Structure 1
Amino acid sequence: MLAPLANRTFRHLFAAQVTSLVGTGLTTVALALLAYDLAGGDAGLVLGLMLALKMVIYVALAPVIGAAVARFDRRRMLVVLDIARAAIVLGLPFVTEIWQVYALFLALHLCAAGFTPAFQATVPDVLPDTEEYTRALALSRLAYDIENLASPGLAAVALTVLSYDALFAANAATFCLSALLIVSCRLPRPAAQQARRFRDRATQGLRVFLATPRLRGLFALYFAVSAGGAMAIVNTVVLVRDRLGGGESDVAVLMAVLGGGSMLAALALPRLLEHVSERRVMLTGGALMVGALLAGLAGSGFAVLAAIWAVIGFAGSLIGTPAGRVITRSSDEESRPAVFTAQFALSHACWLVAYPLAGLLGRLDESWIAFAVLAALAAAGTAAAAAFWPSEDRSSLTHDHPEQHHTHEHVHDAHHQHDHEGWEGPEPHSHPHRHGPLRHAHAFVIDDHHPAWPRG
């Protein structure tokens, strides 16, 4: 599990991720306290609107931001976005109006929408070995789950000696430390980006996602993840306090169990994926999610609910952790940042559906209705994934190329074997060229020369 940390670049990137996660967790607590100071009893509404705003930014604007920064040096861009986030967080203690909170929150997550997909796309370039990359994904998942469990406790301890404004300063410090860690390592040079119109850059990842069967399956599975996750995240407090008569400590226990299930799957996955395909692992996660939600129809006590929450966490990690492998296998170096950006937007679109749905259903007197509807959503997502994602999912596919004339930057790979007159310049270079009709086989991804998936 710890083997990827032997790679200095990944070690620094992972440390940057962990420090940013801790700081963000502290800010989540501080924002709740700030909202209460400014809005009083309407603080819950303010926080709910901020979370909805975050989802809208991630869904609607992440591809646009990704296209805007695609041609920048990746290390420099990550550092600039970290410093920008630090500056924004430092401004939060000085706000006096709710609209100012919304404005800074909007700016903060615009930066995150550019940072996170670019960061995710960098890791497979740093760790090209599939097994090492799988362990790195598991480590990242563990870091995320541990942060969810530890941040509330860290914030509580900090608040015994500091004001909540100091939590914002701590978050700014973590972003600065993250920037220093990224500066301290040399990132692989990304592949040259083709000259494209802005609209084409903004939609490139989405086009690859929708044209690749296994990525359509991944998108469908995110509905299963969000259905179970939203049920647990949104309705735990309602189920514990109103239905079971429990206290705040019981709520904390259930959330810890949810994270524990996720961590257990992350620990098991590197070994499991050596023997079992991503498709089988992830569809199993979808089936477990459906089963866990259906188990909630029984309306049993705290112990059964804890078991359900553990399975939801476990199933969500079975789906979410291998996603990076699936995306890496379905993209090339040039398109990978755009595809990770599309995954970022599409996965949050699923949460944008599931969060309000779980909240509305959770208000009903009968909790089984929420479990039933969300189980149906998870089942639909899992069934669609099984249909979209072929069981025989080969990377190398035999396919035909029709004759084609076009101009773009290229090197002399299997698709570019042509004569030159001397003026074209060193590779990679761009000039008009012709592709004759061709039938061959290789690791297939959607790109300029392969705009559609082969039939059969």
Structure 2
Amino acid sequence: MRLFAIRDYRHLFSAQIIALFGTGLATVALGLLAYELAGPRAGMVLGTALTVKMVMYVVIAPLAAAYVDRFPRRTLLILLDVVRAAVVLALPLVTEIWHIYVLIGLLQAASAAFTPTFQAVIPDIVTDESDYTRALSASQVASTMESLLSPVLAAVALAFMSFNWLFLGTSVGFLVSALLILPTRIPEARPSAHTRVRDKVAAGIRTFFRTPQLRGVMALNLVVAAAGSIVVVNTVNYVRDELGGSQSDVAWTLAASGSGTLLAALVLPRVLRRITARSVMVTGAGVLVGGTIAAVVLTTAGLATWTGTAIVWTVIGIGMALVITPTGNVLRASVQPNAIPEVFAAQFSLSHLAWLITYPIAGWLGTNSGFALAWSVLAALAGAGAVGALLLWPRHGGQRVATAPSTHDRPVSRMDRSALSKAA
């Protein structure tokens, strides 16, 4: 494939895969650590920990985008990987619940700076539109392979060792990621069209609010977060307490959601050549709304079975892939090249703001009032987000937002115009 003939992209993609698998192992281990420390209240602990994560993402990501053009991006990415490796190593040592919150805050502050920087590097290395579309799909496949295989690997590992060893796997993953980034030639960030830090932080957010397709993406972020919170936050308590499953069963259930995401991600590149990104993403929103409603039916109608749970979790995984995979193309097609870091950071922050709303509902409301009420609220939010996307993103809405001129700007190319028309 021509995409993987790009040496620097190969290094970055490999780094992404290894770091993702490490993170996947930590996700399973974190849920089990919360269950060990809090038992039936693990959902509340996990919901709080993930809320801390979202606060870091919402606050740190725009600041990182504002300063990224002042530092060598390769050095920054390596440093953040090393920080994440060190923090994860400390997680197995915690003895108090508040220790989890502090370490998760440190870990996710580093991730909040790493992820949007990493995402903004890819279009600077993969400049051809078709190759970039394949890169987005490959990234989604990597993420979904992680969500599918990491729980499976965790389930196998848990048959032979304590879950604390999974954190060691995560730390090793971050260090290997740093080693892969080390020889990569990463171009420095284009100088922003804005000079003041405050303007840089606000620029991406303003772009979202004044661009129809990006307003639609904001609404779709809420749909993804509402459905995804059921899987991420509530799986451990639902499997252990409602279904009477084991630690390995928690991992297998998470793998069911990952299998749905993988299935969708594998077919999407071909679909996106024939159907607009808007159509695919709106369809995904409908799938997610259906998945959340089915989850409510599972828990209210006494249908909590392994088969029913696996089906619902798989449907949610499919819907998430349909919404998330085309998002990068929509973002890239909506702005000038010098604004790409700002808009990617804004999407990172705004999408996690949606998770900041839904994680506490799944964790706190689910623990104190039961899954039925919590999942009903999340289903209502998913429905509201889907309707909002339809209203905010007109069928033919999609214009590039002009940015202030920069010495590094280039005219809108034929490739960019083609990408914009496909995103609409």
TM-score range, shorter chain: 0.7 to 0.9
In structure 2, C-alpha distance between the alignment counterparts of 1:48 and 1:358, rounded to whole Å: 7
1:334 aligns with 2:332: no
Residue of 310, 314, 319 corresponding to 2:314: 310
In 1, Cα distance between equivalents of 2:95 and 2:73: 36
Distance between the aligned counterparts of 1:163 and 1:253, measured in 2?
Answer: 17
2: CA distance between counterparts of 1:101 and 1:149?
25
- CA displacement 1:246-290 (0-9 Å, x = unmatched): 533665444322111111110111000001000111011111222
Contact 2:219 2:385 survives alignment (8 Å): yes
Q: C-alpha separation between the residues in 1 aligned to 2:293 and 2:30? A: 35
- Label 1:31 to 1:223 Cα distance change in 2 as closer, same or farther (>3 A): closer
Within 5 A, what are the aligned runs for 1:173-252? 173-194=172-193, 196-237=195-236, 239-240=238-239, 245-248=243-246, 251-252=250-251
**Counterparts of 2:95 and 2:375 in 1: how far apart (Å)?**
41
* Structure 2 unaligned residues grouped into runs of 5+: 420-424
Partner of 2:407: 410
CA-CA distance at 1:105 after TM superposition: 2.9
**Which amino acid in 2 is paired with 1:344?**
F
Contact kept, 8 Å, 2:45 with 2:363, in 1: the verdict is no
Q: Structure 2 matches for 1:254-333, cutoff 5 A? A: 254-296=253-295, 298=297, 299=301, 300=303, 302=305, 303-333=307-337
| Distance (Å, rounded) in 1 between the aligned partners of 2:326 and 2:104 | 30
1:206 to partner: Cα distance:
1.0
Residue 352 of structure 1: aligned partner: 356
Which amino acid in 2 is paired with 1:339? Answer: V
Q: What's the offset of the Cα at 1:90?
A: 4.0
CA 1:159/1:213 → structure 2, altered by over 3 Å: closer, same or farther? same
Q: Percent identity?
A: 45
State the alpha-carbon separation in 2 of the partners of residues 139 and 226 from structure 1: 22
The 1:154/1:71 distance shift into structure 2, 3 A limit, reads same
How many angstroms does 1:444 deviate by?
Answer: 12
One-letter amino acid of the counterpart of residue 247, structure 1: G
Alpha carbons of structure 1 residues 127 and 108: separation in structure 2 relative to 1, 3 Å: same
Larger relative contact order (C-alpha < 8 A, sep ≥ 6)? Answer: 2
Q: CA deviation at 1:228?
A: 1.5
- In 1, the alpha carbon distance for the partners of 2:27 and 2:135 equals 26
Q: Residue 338 of structure 2: SS of its match in structure 1?
A: coil
TM-score w.r.t. structure 2 length?
0.83
Structure 1 residues 372 and 98: alpha-carbon distance in aligned structure 2, compared to 1, 3 A threshold: closer
Distance 1:396 1:54, change over 3 A: closer
Partner of 2:61: 62
Kept in 1: contact 2:194–2:200 (CA 8 A): no
Q: Which has the higher helix share?
A: 2
Amino acid of the structure 1 residue aligned with 2:281: M
- Contact 1:221 1:286 (C-alpha < 8 Å) held by counterparts: yes
The alignment status of 1:379 with 2:383, answered yes or no, reads: yes
Q: Calculate the TM-score normalised by the size of structure 1.
A: 0.78
Deviates more, 1:24-33 or 1:342-351: 24-33
User: Is the strand fraction higher in 1 or 2?
Assistant: 1
Code of the aligned partner of 2:319: A
Q: 1:438: which partner in 2? A: none
User: Quick one: distance in 1 between partners of 2:89 and 2:238?
Assistant: 36
Q: What is the Cα deviation at residue 100 of structure 1? A: 5.1
Q: Tell me which structure has the larger Cα radius of gyration.
A: 1
- Paired residues in the alignment total 409
The unaligned stretches of length 5 or more in structure 1 are: 416-441, 446-456
